Amino acid sequence: MEAGIVALLLTISHLALATASASHALIYKRDPRAAIAWMVVSVTVPFIGPVIYYMFGINRVRTAAIGYRNDRLVSYERPERYSEYLGCASPVDALSMVGATVSGNRMLCANSVEPLINGEATYAAMLEAINEASDFVHLTTYILESGDVGKTFIDALAQAVERGVDVRVLIDGFGQYYAIPTATRLLRKAGVPVQCYLPPRLFPPSLHVNLRNHRKVLVVDGVVAFTGGANIGRRHIADEHGVRQVTDIHFRLQGPVVSELDEVFCHDWCFVTGAALPPAPVDTRCYEEAVCRVIMDGPDEHMDKLSMVIQGVISAARRRITIMTPYFLPSRELVAALQAAACRGVKIRVILPAENNLPFVHWATRNMLWELLMWDIEVQYQSPPFCHSKLLLIDDDYALIGSANLDPRSLRLNFELGVEVFDRKLVAQLDQHIEETCCDAHNVTLEEVDGRPLHLRMWDSAFWLMSPYL
């Protein structure tokens, strides 16, 4: 009798917990696949399922981040006819309307945007800026390794602190563990103010594995900024031979856009510490002709901004689209946008690494390439070393640079940063860089993809099923 009562109580308790967690997933999850998965886990795994959902499935960041957000942006007049300023006609207007509508951010003119290839150029320019800093240094990164390259940065930051420079460093809470001892520990030991973005902890539980700050921003004195896809570590140096070597592209920016990039750091610093930093003054000097717009994106937003911008500018393309990304797991909407552009006669080129540092992403991507190849979209595998660059070029006028990959993790789960750049000079430079790095790239064919043996096709398909969670 007692055993029956206990069983009944346990059943009722499980049903109550399962109903509560499944209902929460049904109401608050934006992706139907994620909602279904969490509902199934909550209902079919007694007690443990709801607990797992509570620990890993609930996005507690959204409410906190929105609460911290404030309107501290410095007013800067947006140019009314930036297409005329660029010397471009209506295509630039069509491209620019997408980001304006989605982000609501202003366009800033008179900027310079300089590409920096690999760690040699990137780190030298960043360290030079840090060593010359007189007012402040704001650095946020996903990974700051503690090897020789990382220690060079740590030493430079510590020396800046000794000079009286206001130095603040923000490292992702999971990314810090890419190297032991962590750079966070070494920075604190050196007297450099450093914070971690959503570090994992058990008590109280905070295990937001998916909600990572993937942004990379360095702002110095409000006059120079760096952003792009490069982390800080030995693997980005060309003489680092081996399977872990990484090539990448970063950017040095000057002009009014620097204050916008500093606002990104201030936003994240406020989220972590609760302390609002004074905004950097706008540098109104005229550098070059690049017109820029900064787009912050993350799970704290009400829409997937970068995903919408990417789909929008692809739909606005008239002549050509070039995509270079290390991780390519496009949504159905993005695939459809590329196919529609191909039908309009737009020349599309997708460049992927031949050997990925995450092989399961390579397998999942290979399963869907036929959807591009059948529409005569060019797909190329770039020869090793692994290319970590993230570029989207539209026609001759537009480049989207920043930290985001074209995968669900970047476009739905991470905190990312994109910078739209309207500048013919920069696009020409990036075109040249792509041609130089892809001179021996392998052109993937539909026959090659369709000719995979059955076991390999099943293997790739299995990982493609998991692509929303990779």
Each residue of 162-190: pLDDT tens digit?
999 999 999 999 999 988 899 999 999 99
DSSP 469: G
What's the token pair of residue 290?
Answer: 């690049």
What confidence score (pLDDT) does residue 76 get?
30
Q: Residue 71 — pLDDT band, cuts 50, 70, 90?
A: very low
More confident residue, 339 or 105: 339
Lowest pLDDT segment from 2-11, 248-257, 381-390? 2-11
DSSP 210: S
d(CA 36, CA 263): 37
- pTM attached to this predicted model: 0.86
d(CA 460, CA 363): 5
d(CA 106, CA 422): 13
Q: Where are the domains of the chain?
A: 2-58, 114-285, 305-469
Q: Determine the topology of domain 305-469 in CATH.
A: Endonuclease; Chain A (3.30.870)
DSSP 145: -
d(CA 308, CA 333): 9
Condensed to tens digits (0 to 9), the pLDDT of residues 303-329 reads: 889 999 999 999 999 999 999 999 999
d(CA 324, CA 433): 11
Burial of 151 (0-12, 13-18, 19+ CB in 10 A): middle
Q: Residue 68 — pLDDT band, cuts 50, 70, 90?
A: very low
Region of 176 please: left (phi>0), alpha (psi -120 to 50) or beta.
alpha
Condensed to tens digits (0 to 9), the pLDDT of residues 426-464 reads: 999 999 999 999 999 999 999 999 999 999 999 999 999
What confidence score (pLDDT) does residue 239 get?
67
Angle of CA points 142, 157, 416, to nearest 5°: 20
What's the token pair of residue 460?
Answer: 């790739």
pLDDT at residue 25 above 60? yes
Q: How many CB atoms lie within 10 A of CB 265?
A: 23
Q: Residue 383 — pLDDT band, cuts 50, 70, 90?
A: very high
Same fold, 114-285 and 305-469: yes
Burial of 241 (0-12, 13-18, 19+ CB in 10 A): exposed
**Residue owning tokens 């995979």:** 452
Residue 404, helix vs strand vs coil: coil
**Strand pairing report for 246-247 and 224-228:** unpaired
What confidence score (pLDDT) does residue 320 get?
98
Q: How many CB atoms lie within 10 A of CB 27?
A: 8
Q: Tell whether domain 114-285 is in CATH 3.30.870.10.
A: yes
pLDDT at residue 224 above 90? yes
What confidence score (pLDDT) does residue 336 get?
97
What confidence score (pLDDT) does residue 203 get?
67
Condensed to tens digits (0 to 9), the pLDDT of residues 80-133 reads: 433 443 333 333 577 888 888 888 888 899 999 999 999 999 999 999 999 999
What confidence score (pLDDT) does residue 79 get?
37
Omega cis (within 30) before 181: yes
Half-sphere exposure of 149 (CA within 13 A, CB side): 21
In 3-state terms the chain splits into helix, strand, coil percentages (rounded to 5) of 45, 20, 35
